[in-house]
Amino acid sequence: MNILLVEDNEGDIELTQHAFKRGGLVSQLAIAHDGVEAIDYLSRRGAFSDAVEPDLILLDLNMPRMGGRQFLEIVKQDEKLKCIPVIVLTSSDAPKDIRECYERQANCYILKPFDLQKFMVMVKQVEDFWINVVQLPHQAVATR
């Protein structure tokens, strides 16, 4: 399982890497620091020429240059990329943010838990659900 984490906060990046390392089911966790970098990664542009297409994208909302909403708009209108599930992972519980993400075809919206324990449990659940429970369009994505 390959995951692309789009997140600008170094603290959150470290924390998420830490949590996925514990789970051990994710083979690669790539990092993009904002929407622009993430689009570059997905298009294998610049420094990302040998990027692996992710099975799953974890997306923060408020980031410099290009935030989560705009990233969703681009990815979900792209024939090649729209199949990749995007999980919004954010500190914001504002109803407006939640609605706007689903309107832009986010696959789910998760509030980052305040407690470390709960954060670890959340990552474990994400891992378990998206790796063990659901079927992903690996074939379709891989053959293009």
Partner 1 sequence: MVAASIVKNASSESGGITAISGISSNILIVDDRKENLIATEKVLKNLDSTIFKAGSGNEALSLMLRHRFAVILLDVQMPEMDGFETAALMQDHESMRGVPIIFVTAISKEEKYATQAAAIGAVDYIFKPINPEILRSKVKVYIDLYRQHEQILQLNKTLSQSNEELERFAYICSHDMQEPVRMMNSYADILNEEYRQFLDARAQKYLEFIKGNASHLQKMIFDILTFSRVGREEPRTEHIDCNQMVREVLEEFKPVIERKQAHIACDPLPGLEGCPTLMHVLFQNLIGNALKFQDGSRQPTISIQVEFANGEWTFSVQDNGIGIDPAFNDRVFAIFQRIHRKEDYPGTGIGLSTCKKFVEFYGGKIWFQSAPGKGSIFFFTILDHTRVAS
Residues making contact with partner 1 (CB under 8 A): 9, 11-12, 15, 18, 61-62, 90-94, 96-97, 112, 114-117, 119
Q: What are the Cα distances from residue 30, in Å, to 44, 73, 77, 84, 118?
A: 13, 21, 22, 15, 23
For residue 79, the minimal CB distance to partner 1 (Å) is 32
Q: Which sign, positive or negative, has the C-alpha torsion 133, 99, 96, 11?
A: positive
For residue 142, the minimal CB distance to partner 1 (Å) is 35
When the beta carbons of 72 and 84 are compared against partner 1, the nearer one is: 72
When the beta carbons of 96 and 144 are compared against partner 1, the nearer one is: 96
Number of Cβ within a 10 Å radius of residue 32:
26
CB 126 within 8 A of CB 110: yes
When the beta carbons of 12 and 127 are compared against partner 1, the nearer one is: 12
For residue 113, the minimal CB distance to partner 1 (Å) is 8
